[in-house]
């Protein structure tokens, strides 16, 4: 998913080099794992293959959530999809940098385009499930995409590419969603409830995304205003 894990740095978009900001809780052990995977990856696995695998994982997650109307066992497909999506999304940029075959403009464009599709598939799938209302799922989609927009704008105007907020990043978010999916399997759907506990969780996450976007926008706006004060006359 997004604010994607290992997006390639956009070329020549800012006057200063892009600084990748990533301070999430699992960043260090995850980087060690990704570096090891890059070393053992067979030659036929390319960044494009991994990107496609990540999108396929999101499709699997969508199908798993939507098909859970037929039975909660389908949610196992959603969990497998999360794992595939993490692997593809985290490894495509890492492998390109490890092999020194980066295509910065192409990679940046395709990676972020796929991130938007992946976000819609995963949260849209939740909205089609019997566990989360469509309007609540779309709030989370909107919030995540707002944060993505902020990341792209900050990379362009401030040279900062934010991959995490506080101790949380995309990987921690995936763990949260997998845990929630397991809880769905254990509890089963609440057929007669207007608002479920899962609605509250997804709605709260979406609201946090929106509030983070507002806060980050105000903070960045103040910094830019101070840096670009009009000359005194």
Q: Tell me the per-residue pLDDT of 137-178, one tens digit each, with 9 for 90 and over.
A: 999 999 999 988 888 888 878 777 777 676 777 888 899 999
**Beta strands 160-162; 19-21: pairing state:** parallel
If pLDDT is split at 50, 70 and 90, which confidence band does 4 have?
very low
- Report whether pLDDT(9) > 50: no
Which residues are CB-neighbours of 6 under 8 A, at least 6 positions away? 34, 89, 90, 91, 92, 93, 94
If pLDDT is split at 50, 70 and 90, which confidence band does 5 have?
very low
Rounded Cα–Cα distance for residues 161 and 190 (Å) = 40
- Closest alpha carbon to 55 in 112, 11, 137: 112
C-alpha dist (Å) from residue 37 to 8, 107, 169, 207:
18, 20, 20, 35
Contact status, residue 92 vs residue 51, Cβ threshold 8 Å? yes
Rounded Cα–Cα distance for residues 161 and 158 (Å) = 9
pTM: 0.83
Rounded Cα–Cα distance for residues 24 and 32 (Å) = 14
Identify the structural domains of the chain with CATH numbers, from first to last: 19-227 (1.20.120.1760)
- Backbone φ and ψ of 162, nearest 5°: -90, 120
């Amino acid at each position: 998913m997004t604010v994607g894990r290992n997006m390639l740095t956009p070329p020549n978009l800012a006057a200063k080099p892009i600084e990748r900001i990533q301070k999430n809780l699992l960043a260090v052990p995850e980087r060690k794992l990704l570096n090891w995977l890059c070393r053992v990856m067979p030659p036929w696995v390319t960044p494009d293959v991994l990107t496609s695998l990540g999108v396929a994982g999101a499709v699997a997650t969508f199908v798993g959530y939507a098909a859970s109307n037929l039975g909660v066992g389908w949610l196992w497909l959603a969990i497998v999809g999360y794992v595939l999506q993490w692997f593809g999304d985290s490894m495509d940029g890492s492998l390109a940098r490890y092999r020194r075959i980066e295509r910065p403009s192409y990679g940046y464009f395709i990676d972020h385009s796929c991130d938007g599709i992946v976000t819609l598939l995963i949260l849209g799938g939740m909205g089609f499930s019997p566990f989360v209302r469509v309007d609540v799922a779309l709030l989370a989609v909107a919030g995540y995409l707002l944060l993505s927009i902020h990341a792209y704008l900050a990379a362009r105007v401030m040279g900062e590419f934010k991959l995490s907020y506080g101790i949380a990043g995309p990987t921690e978010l995936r763990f949260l969603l997998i845990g929630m999916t397991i809880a769905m399997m254990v509890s089963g759907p609440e057929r007669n409830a207007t608002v479920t506990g899962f609605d509250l969780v997804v709605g709260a996450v979406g609201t946090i995304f929106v509030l983070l976007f507002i806060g980050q926008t105000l903070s960045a706006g103040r910094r830019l205003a101070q840096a670009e004060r009009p000359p005194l006359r």
